[in-house]
Amino acid sequence: MNSKVLSRRDLDFLLYEWLDVQALTGRERFAEHSRETFDAFLDVSQQIAERDFAPHNRKNDLHEPTFDGNRVEMIPEVSHALRVFAESGLLGATMDAEHGGLQLPHVVQRACFLWFQAANTASSAYAMLTGGNAHLLLAHGTEEQIRRFVHPMIEGRFAGTMCLSEPQAGSSLSDVTTRAVKQADGTYRVTGGKMWISGGDHELTENIIHLVLARVAGAPAGVKGLSLFIVPKLDLATGERNGVTLAGLNHKMGYRGTTNTVLAFDDAVGELVGEEGRGLQYMFHMMNEARIGVGSGAVALGYTGYLHALAYARERQQGRPVTAKDPLAPPVPIVDHPDVRRMLLASKSYVEGGLALVLYAAKLLDQPSPENSLLLDVLTPIVKAWPSQWCRLADDHAIQIHGGYGYTREYPVEQFYRDNRLNSIHEGTDGIQALDLLGRKVTQQGGAGLALLLDRIRATAASAPAELGVPVLAACDRLAATTAKLWADPSTALVNATAYLDAAGHLVIAWMWLEQLNAAADREGDFYQGKRLAARYFVTHELPRIGPMLDLLDSGDTLLLDLDDAWLG
């Protein structure tokens, strides 16, 4: 029986038949690896995800963590699952061997981690946060900081968080007011309130290492005055509680198993990461990784929703197809109804397209070059926002395909839908991603990022069958022309940024489908037929959506600027 968590067959296709991931072992960094070791980690990921993560996904939702004023209590399965995860070595999957890491390619780590995100997004988040925290310190911390903080994280003894937002500063980090005062011994005392801190408190690990954005006394206003501090929950030497208090838990619609906290820092002892004033720059290291992680999580939740819907549609008997002549013929499985097929095929195109994008982006990290870095920069807002919208729609379709059953808590799809709703919000809302894409990424280096992206898409489209390649080439030309037009009038270019993100996102996913189509070539079998089918669906049913978006952008419409909010009601 096929897994309803994720598709190993699809991962194998994407990793080995498309991305040629085994060729990465020709690079020195991955020389100790082979297809066999990659497969072993994929195997163990599926095994642990299905055995230790999936079974408590609903229980996590029904019994969310509670705080009695003293300790955070949660179901014991979370701690067990994370212990097994740590023992697998995957916490240090991509890290250097010298730090106890596995030196796996990012693309393989990403594929492995998708199993956990699909099986139990809430429990897996603790591992994701710890990984992101450790990566930041590996890049910007001192040797000693790495030894004291990162090594225990890789071992699973410490967990990590990222403390950026405050009650008055969510999307707008320039308004962060938490302050840090330098002490004679070189440490800092950190004071302020942080909001929306995932994993901000729990008893899962011996310690929790907070990375905190704060403003040193006398630092300039705005983002340039922000520095980054390591603030452990407990003093590493004495085990005494540091000045970090859990002020409360936030109670969410979904994603309930991940504690989300309000933290009060009161004269908490912290140490600086890197240099003062460069905090946000360092934090972006973690944020970019987190954004790909969020996109990946959205794909994972959409993918598992799709697999559940597909299995249900094959099993559930109801009605006759619209083309049936005999109204008294026996009922058919609902997968035979065109509208159910529409939702399934759309969902397949979203989740497999999103998965391809997430893996493609991860592989760019494995072949570092200025070009790949530029491409990843321009893709990151799309990797983050597109799956958050469209793979969520796969979960929405999954409910619809289940009918009334899908709306009940007796079936898992309603939880996927609720869990996935967060992904358009955290780590920068969809609107923030749109501004990042149009306002920063496509303009940087004189537009080199977008030019590079379009070159890659065009090269793929030129190799694809004309029927599907030509519309994608045309869309590239249109996006390029629209972009040039927008930047001819920078004062209003950003007003319809979301339409731009939506259009660029659909074009990128069309590209991912042509890539898969080319990789499938004329290979026979249901799997490859499915790839060809979904590619055709995406290019013919989905890509045309971008026409009206680009028309709007071309029109230079400024309705959203001109309106007076008193008119809204």
- Angle at 374 (CA atoms; ends 368, 378), nearest 5 degrees: 130
| Region 42-71 residues binding a second copy, contact defined as CB under 8 A | none
Candidates 126-134, 265-273, 371-379, 489-497 — which segment interacts with a second copy by CB under 8 A? 489-497
Residue type, 99: H
Provide the minimum distance between the beta carbon of 55 and a second copy in the complex, in angstroms, as a whole number: 20
DSSP state of 242: P
Q: Which of residues 393-422 bind a second copy (CB under 8 A)?
A: 399-400, 403-404, 406-410, 414, 417-418, 421-422
Tell me the closest approach of the beta carbon of residue 202 to a second copy, in angstroms: 18
Where residue 267 falls (left for φ over 0; alpha for ψ -120 to 50; beta otherwise) is left
- Any contact of residue 523 with a second copy (CB under 8 A)? no
Contact segment (CB under 8 A) with a second copy among 12-20, 171-179, 261-269, 276-284 equals 171-179
> What values do phi and psi take at 288, rounded to 5?
-60, -40
| Joined tokens for residue 353 | 């397209």
**Residue 102 token pair:** 């596995």
Nearest alpha-carbon partner for 65 in 259, 263, 261, 205: 259
CA-based angle 166:170:175, to the nearest 5?
Answer: 70
**Dist CA 393 CA 384 (whole Å):** 15
Q: Is 463 a residue that touches a second copy (CB under 8 A)?
A: no
Q: Is the CB of residue 441 less than 8 Å from the CB of residue 374?
A: no
Contact pattern for a second copy over residues 219 through 258, marking x by CB under 8 A: --xxx--------------------------xxxxx----
CA angle 220–225–230, rounded 5-degree value: 145
Q: Residues 84, 234, 247, 335: which binds a second copy (CB under 8 A)?
A: 335
Q: Burial level of 33, CB count in 10 A (0-12/13-18/19+)?
A: buried
Catalytic residue from among 64, 271, 427, 542: 427
State yes or no: residue 34 binds a second copy (CB under 8 A).
no
Is 240 annotated as catalytic? no
Q: With binding defined as CB under 8 A, does residue 372 bind a second copy?
A: no
Beta carbon nearer to a second copy, 268 or 432:
432
Q: Residue 341 burial (CB < 10 Å; 0-12/13-18/19+)?
A: middle
Judge contact between 81 and 87, C-beta under 8 A: no
* Binding of a second copy by 322 (CB under 8 A): yes
Report in angstroms how near the CB of residue 122 gets to a second copy at its nearest: 13
In whole angstroms, the minimum distance from the beta carbon of 339 to a second copy comes to 4
* Residue with the two structure tokens 């509670």: 66
Q: Does 430 bind a second copy (CB under 8 A)?
A: yes
Question: Residues, the chain, total?
Answer: 569
Give the range of 76-84, 209-217, 343-351, 454-462 binding a second copy by CB under 8 A: 343-351
CB of 132 to a second copy, least distance (A): 18
Establish if 440 lies at the interface with a second copy (CB under 8 A): no
* Options 213, 231, 300, 497; binder of a second copy; rule CB under 8 A: 497
Which residue in 247, 451, 480, 533 binds a second copy (CB under 8 A)? 533
Q: Which is nearer to a second copy, 77 or 352 (CB)?
A: 352
The three-point CA angle 402-6-414 to 5° equals: 30
- Cα–Cα distance measured from residue 557 to residue 549, given in angstroms and rounded to the nearest whole number: 11
Q: How far is the CB of 440 from a second copy (least distance, A)?
A: 11
Shortest Å, Cβ 134 to a second copy: 25
- The Cα 511–Cα 349 span in angstroms is 12
Residues 181-200 that bind a second copy (CB under 8 A): 195-196
Q: How many residues bind a second copy (CB under 8 A)?
A: 103
281 binds a second copy (CB under 8 A): no
**Restricting to residues 537-556, which ones interact with a second copy according to CB under 8 A?**
537, 540-541, 544-545, 547-548, 551-552, 555
Annotated active-site positions, please? 427
